[in-house]
A and B are shown apart, each in its own frame.
Chain A
């Protein structure tokens, strides 16, 4: 069945460092791909999405490109801030009602 695999955390970075969180997926057809973020004590918030191959989603300095050839949707940010500390979830939608999530990757950014 469809699934999402993302890198284990925690990812620990200094402020202004470059961030990559890897995400790969397995799906039939043409899923849509998402990154959600969960800040402490809050719900999951959509960070960015891409609905077809080669689309780039971007928001708040974060980017991810839908790569069908490598079945990947890696999250990147050029310069992280302490306020980016959160758990990041990669997810796919296979055009049904449900989102299929990865396990989440905790990012810790230190000043």
Chain B
């Protein structure tokens, strides 16, 4: 069964460093998403991406964040200068269509900023 994969599973970085989280969505999906979950809090939407551009973003997704689909398979989330409060589990998801269609999630990348 096709699945969304994410690498790395755990990333430790120092405050102020740039990190890139990688995701490989399901191959025939067209819509891509990033969510995050700070420990003990809700899973929060960050951004959605379609046709090589951002289609929606939350207020969390400020200028420190960017997304890219650099080739036909990867979907990346870059945090330009990490802060302590960026420590969270980051989930990538993809779907065949938008709206009420199922979003398929990856296992997540745990980001720890020290």
Interface residues in chain A, defined as those with a beta carbon under 8 Å from any beta carbon in chain B: 32, 36, 41-46, 49, 51, 89, 91, 93, 95-104
B106 A99 Cβ-Cβ under 8 A: no
Q: Judge whether B72 is part of the interface by a CB distance below 8 angstroms.
A: no
Docked Cα-Cα span, A32 to B98, in Å, equals 12
With beta carbons under 8 angstroms apart, the residue of B40, B43, B48 that contacts A89 is B43
| CB-CB under 8 A for A95 and B56, given A43-B91, A44-B105, A101-B43 | no
26 residue pairs bridging A and B, Cβ less than 8 Å apart: A41-B107, A43-B6, A43-B91, A43-B106, A43-B108, A44-B91, A45-B105, A46-B102, A49-B102, A89-B43, A93-B99, A93-B100, A95-B100, A97-B31, A97-B33, A97-B55, A97-B98, A98-B45, A98-B48, A98-B58, A99-B35, A100-B45, A101-B35, A103-B40, A103-B41, A104-B43
0/1 string, B29-65, CB within 8 A of A gives 1: 0010101000011111100100000011010000000
Contacts of A93 in B (CB 8 A): 99-100
Docked Cα-Cα span, A100 to B3, in Å, equals 22
Docked Cα-Cα span, A96 to B91, in Å, equals 18
Interface size grouping (class) on chain B: 20 to 34
A-B pair count, CB < 8 Å, reads 61
Contacts of B20 in A (CB 8 A): none
| CB-CB under 8 A for A43 and B56, given A95-B99, A102-B42 | no
Q: Judge whether B113 is part of the interface by a CB distance below 8 angstroms.
A: no
Contacts of B58 in A (CB 8 A): 98
Docked Cα-Cα span, A5 to B8, in Å, equals 31
Q: Considering the complex, give the chain B residue whose CB is closest to the CB of A6.
A: B42
Q: Judge whether B19 is part of the interface by a CB distance below 8 angstroms.
A: no
